[in-house]
Amino acid sequence: MRSFFSLASLVLLTAAASAGEKPNVVVLYADDAGYADFGFQPNCTEEMRNLTPRIDSIARDGARFTNAYMSGCVCSPSRAGLMTGRYQQRFGFDDNLPPGRQDGLELTETFGVKRLQSLGYRTGLIGKWHLGYPSAYHPNKRGFDHFYGLLQGSRPYYPIEKPSEHRVIQKNGEPTPESGYVTDRLGAAACRFIEERDEEPFYLFVSFTAPHGPLQPKEADAARIAHIKNDRRRKYAGLVVSLDDNVGRILDCLEEQGLTDDTLVLFTNDNGGQTQTGAVNTPLRGRKGQLHEGGIRVPWAVRWPGRAPAGSVVEEPVIALDLLPTVVEAAGAAVDPAWKLDGRSFLSTMTGGDDSAPLRPLYWRHHGGNGPRAMRLGQWKLYDERSPGAAAALYDLDADISESSDLAAGHPDRVASMIAALDEWESEMEEPRWGPNEPGRRNGAR
């Protein structure tokens, strides 16, 4: 890990730590955005560089993470891992939850917000759910005190004449009228949650659908994106600028309520960018749905005044599974080993403290025991396609972030040890409870 921070930042950090108060937490979660499509990213494309000033301000005023990952390469598995702090393959959640399924994220799994409720947090989810449709799987039953959003994975941005029960935007189980632009509705709902808070600290997860398709930008944003000539890319950029506007709306709301200094704000994305709808992942190889870096490495920035030094850069690899233990530690509590979390807190590295965290492996799998899998250990990334005739590939990510040079032939022992570690990890996982495109197995099948 490398962090850059000033003596003044260290003084503020020490003062904040001594206060001992639980911070509010706001997670701003984009959907299918490109790795190179935010101005705070060093490889941001020129056409997008000035389109995300409010999102960029989070990194400017806090820490940018260069090696941040989701535990899944598509929408709902990545959410399942983040929400529980456990590899989602442990409970058969390898693939996107199909529409209409009569199950979802296993009911025996405990959501992190349940842990936070026990620490005195009021919890809210705004936006996309995609973790279960029946009543027992509803956000309000899994630990969210307040839910305003949709149960399914996507929907049009403009009003639907006859929305299905899983695409309609609901408030705590009750459908709301179809009106307005969805990204604006979600930004406004996030602000209402903040404004209506009580005295207790809050955890707010804002799960935007933008810039996931369909590509329906607001006409009012046309002038800001007119310089982008490619039609698909321009429409995608329109979704991004609306996302940025509403991130700014939420940041302004925190400021107006006098909560900026008391709130940890995290911005990230649910998986790698979907290049098929206009995202750009330069310099990463691959896209959403793949286990190359372009499918799992994500933009990640954290702002916490007085704790995360402004302009700092964190190079230690982190994964979405780390969010829950980090928030628990920030609240002054300890993770119970009985929770069996797979993540670890990055609080110390984020705040410019101890950067000697022990090396640990990170694992990925998609489509079950016959699908592709991957592992990262330090600088090394093993990618195992598991398709006929395809041998496992080895990449040095420090020297080759684009995964362009397969070094497996020169490191047979390293490949063998990483394959063995992947095998051992996978032996603890469950086979998917549903396939990627159809209902598949019944709940409880292994």
Instruction: Give 301-321 as a 3 state SS string.
Output: EEECCCCCCCCEEECCCEEHH
Average pLDDT on 160-170 reads 96
**pLDDT at position 193, please?**
98
Residues with active-site annotation: 75, 130
- Reported as a single tens digit per residue, the pLDDT across 83-106 is 999 999 999 999 999 998 999 999
Q: What domains are there in the chain, each with its CATH number?
A: 7-350 (3.40.720.10), 361-427 (3.30.1120.10)
According to the model, what pLDDT value does residue 247 have?
98
Q: Are strands 312-314 and 300-303 parallel, antiparallel or unpaired?
A: unpaired
Q: Is the pLDDT of residue 18 over 90?
A: no
Token pair, residue 365, equals 């799998």
**pLDDT at residue 2 above 80?**
no
The tokens describing 59, both together, are 């990194």
For residue 296, which of 438, 88, 441 has the smallest C-alpha distance? 88
pLDDT digit string (tens) for 388-405?
Answer: 989 999 999 999 999 999
Sign for the CA dihedral angle at 252, 254, 255, 256 comes to: positive
pLDDT tens digits, one per residue of 55-88 = 999 999 999 999 999 999 999 999 999 999 999 9
DSSP state for residue 219 in the 8-state scheme? G
Share of the chain above pLDDT 70, in %: 93
The pLDDT of 302-311, averaged and rounded, is 96
Contacts of 213 (CB under 8 A, 6+ apart): 32, 154, 274, 277
Lowest mean pLDDT among 19-33, 160-174, 369-383: 19-33
**254 backbone dihedrals φ, ψ, rounded to 5°:** -60, -40
Q: What one-character-per-residue DSSP string does 391-426 give?
A: PPEEEETTT-TT--S--GGG-HHHHHHHHHHHHHHH
Listing DSSP states for 226-249 in one string gives: TT--SHHHHHHHHHHHHHHHHHHH
112 pLDDT more than 90? yes
pLDDT, position 15: 37
The answer to whether residues 206 and 250 touch, using CB atoms and an 8 Å cutoff, is yes
CB neighbours of 44 closer than 8 A, spacing ≥ 6?
36, 37, 38
Which token pair is 251? 């940041």
CA distances, 365 to each of 4, 95, 120, 296 (Å): 34, 10, 35, 11
Number of neighbouring beta carbons within 10 Å of residue 435: 15
Per-residue pLDDT, averaged over 179-196, amounts to 98
DSSP assignment of 38-95 equals: STTSTT--GGGTTS-HHHHHHHHTSEEESSEE-S-SSHHHHHHHHHHTS-GGGGT--S
Check residue 323 and give its pLDDT.
98
pLDDT value at position 20?
55
Residue 21 in contact with residue 210, Cβ under 8 Å?
Answer: no
pLDDT tens column, 241-283: 999 999 999 999 999 999 999 999 999 999 999 999 999 999 9
What tokens does 445 get? Answer: 């099948």
Reported in sequence order, the residue ranges of 116-247 that DSSP labels E, i.e. its strands, are 122-128, 146-150, 170-171, 174-175, 202-207
Residue 8: pLDDT above 70?
no
Average pLDDT of the residues of the chain: 93
Tokens of 285: 């190889």
Give the integer Cα–Cα distance in Å for 397 and 374: 13
